[in-house]
Amino acid sequence: MLRVASLPGDGIGPEVCDAAVRVLGALPVDVTVEEHSFGGRAIHEDGDPLPAETLAACRAADAVLLGAVGLPEFDGAPVRPEQGLIRLRGELDVYANLRPAKRDGVDLLIVRELVGGLYFGASGRRADGSAFDTCEYSPHEIERVARRAFELARGRNAFVTSVDKANVLETSRLWREVVSGLAGDYPDVRLEHMLVDNAGLQLVLDPAQFDVILTENTFGDILSDVAAGSCGGLGVAASASLGDRGPGIFEPVHGTAPDIAGQGKANPAGAILSIALLLDELGQPAAARAIEGAVTGVLDDGARTPDLGGTATTDEVAEEISESLAISMPTTS
């Protein structure tokens, strides 16, 4: 029995999580899903975006499914929903964020360092009217995520593009040194280095040239949205955040989309494809491939939400995907 902790969060988070859980329920997989308070909702209820009970439940689960957190009402507030997300990533030490992007001719995987760098630097602060954020990386932090990227490349096209800004940043020069130093352990994988500004350009002009893109936290945040934009849109992009042990976090790449929340317009594909990543990680590849096939089939010929030019609702898309799964995986196991 697989145990999934679901953290729907804010905005369209609960809408897409419901859809994803519905699809999970349509599969012949023995799983229980338990929902927990997180993000803005948890701030209202507990004053804490990551209540102790929620963190404990995540640690005890096999995987965490997450919607999204953050709402305009918390802009400038002392306690913000995003702090809960950053803390959860740190607590579970999910240092490798995997973001696949697929489209005709394009099949790339961004491996983003997730618990270091600028977003985790010794707390941002203000002094004398100026603001400071610190970017810091240790060799160990770079090595573990780089090894993950090399290993993942072995199961793909054996090509890693490591993205940095080594012509300007000291952290990037260390990044390049450490990654280059590991290349000898993976002689079967081709390694290339690319500066981040060029990587942004190349992702727009010719994303088919990439296999695995390895990069640090901030660059990866931006580049993965660029990749999502040039490969089917934010609504269909999924991600997995993994550590060495313990549960991974599986979530769509998009945010809470306050502009469309509560209207049934949210595309559930990103959340549903995150379930496929979750099943892959928990040793259920057949179920994962079935979900990918069902999502592709429905988005190509069936129900589509408005972001993809259709008129279907979130629920209608989830329903069609579930029905198509019931046909492709009829047996129970």
221 touching Mg ion, by CB under 5 A: yes
70 touching ligand NAI, by CB under 6 A: yes
Residue from the set 6, 267, 274, 284 that interacts with ligand NAI by CB under 6 A: 267
Site string for ligand NAI, 277-306 (x = CB under 6 A): ----------------------------x-
Cα angle vertex 212, ends 210, 215, to 5°?
110
- The set of residues, in sequence order, having a beta carbon less than 8 Å from that of 57 and lying 6+ positions away, is 5, 34, 36
User: Distance between CA 317 and CA 264 in Å, rounded?
Assistant: 10
User: Distance between CA 140 and CA 11 in Å, rounded?
Assistant: 36
Tokens of 147: 């090894």
Residue from the set 270, 272, 279, 329 that interacts with ligand NAI by CB under 6 A: 270
Of 86-94, 221-229, 261-269, 309-317, which segment contacts Mg ion by CB under 5 A? 221-229
20 touching ligand NAI, by CB under 6 A: no
Buried b (16+ CB within 10 A) or exposed e, 283-295: ebeebbebbbbbb
114 touching ligand NAI, by CB under 6 A: no
- Measured from the CB atom, the residue of 54 and 256 that comes closer to ligand NAI is 256
- Measured from the CB atom, the residue of 113 and 211 that comes closer to ligand NAI is 113
Of 24-32, 107-115, 205-213, 258-266, which segment contacts ligand NAI by CB under 6 A? 258-266
85 touching ligand NAI, by CB under 6 A: yes
242 touching ligand NAI, by CB under 6 A: no
Residue from the set 34, 185, 197, 259 that interacts with ligand NAI by CB under 6 A: 259
112 touching ligand NAI, by CB under 6 A: no
Residue from the set 49, 207, 243, 255 that interacts with ligand NAI by CB under 6 A: 255
Residue from the set 37, 202, 256, 324 that interacts with ligand NAI by CB under 6 A: 256
What Å distances lie between residue 41 and 35, 68, 109, 266, CA to CA? Answer: 13, 11, 32, 19
User: Distance between CA 191 and CA 93 in Å, rounded?
Assistant: 26
User: Distance between CA 168 and CA 208 in Å, rounded?
Assistant: 27
- Measured from the CB atom, the residue of 182 and 269 that comes closer to Mg ion is 269
37 touching ligand NAI, by CB under 6 A: no
Residue carrying the six token digits 């990551």: 50
Q: Least distance to ligand NAI from the beta carbon of 283, Å?
A: 26
Longest Cα–Cα distance in the chain: 66
On the 0-12 / 13-18 / 19+ scale of CB atoms within 10 A, 176 is middle
Q: Least distance to Mg ion from the beta carbon of 106, Å?
A: 20
Q: Least distance to ligand NAI from the beta carbon of 192, Å?
A: 29
Q: Are 54 and 91 in contact (CB under 8 A)?
A: no
Of 88-96, 115-123, 186-194, 263-271, which segment contacts ligand NAI by CB under 6 A? 263-271
Strand partners, 4: 33, 63
Write the DSSP string, 75-137. Answer: TT-SS-HHHHHHHHHHHHT--EEEEEEEETTEEEEEEEE-SSGGGGSS--EEETTEEE-----
User: Distance between CA 49 and CA 322 in Å, rounded?
Assistant: 32
Alpha helices in the chain (DSSP H): 13-25, 40-46, 52-60, 81-92, 139-154, 170-182, 196-205, 217-230, 269-281, 285-301, 314-328
Residue numbers annotated as active site: 119, 165, 197, 221, 225
- Measured from the CB atom, the residue of 66 and 303 that comes closer to Mg ion is 66
Of 114-122, 168-176, 216-224, 309-317, which segment contacts Mg ion by CB under 5 A? 216-224
- The binding site for Mg ion (CB under 5 A) comprises 221
Residues lying near ligand NAI in the complex (CB under 6 A) are found at: 12, 16, 68-71, 82, 85, 234-235, 251, 254-260, 266-267, 270, 305, 307
